[in-house]
Amino acid sequence: MLEVGKKAPDFTLPDQDGKKVSLKDFKGKKIILYFYPKDNTSGCTKEACSFRDDFPKFKKTDAVILGVSPDSVSSHKKFAEKFNLPFTLLSDEEKKVLELYNVWKEKSMYGKKYMGVERTTYIIDETGKIKKIFNKVKVDGHNLEVMEALKD
């Protein structure tokens, strides 16, 4: 079980350009690791664009933003280009990292059950430890909650 104060599990995934990115590449920096269900859907677009719009503020805190979903590298590339996203999107088509971070869950919509990503954000400190976990994220105002948590 992942908890605040524990070490964040390392992983390596391809980014929107197909380049391999590992969590350990960012040691010494704060990391905003946010998991989202799907590129180009209303909630996910709104969340990504709010991080984009506040990107200069996040950069001042020396924080790195990493978005993770089960979408393909090419889907991420199109999504990042369409909305001019200045941060890294990671593709987890095999859902290994989604499971590792406990965000691949059974969901329910209109009485149908299916597996999907529960919108979750982890803030990881400079030493690689989990500083804060936001479960079942509501998109509106989430970027402000994350900014507040970085100040602590």
Residues designated as active site: 44
CA distance 76 to 68: 9
Q: What are phi and psi of 139, to 5 degrees?
A: -60, -45
Q: Is-contact 76 91, C-beta < 8 A?
A: yes
Residue 150's alpha-carbon distances to 57, 91, 94, 134, 135, in angstroms, are 11, 25, 30, 13, 16
CA distance 133 to 121: 6
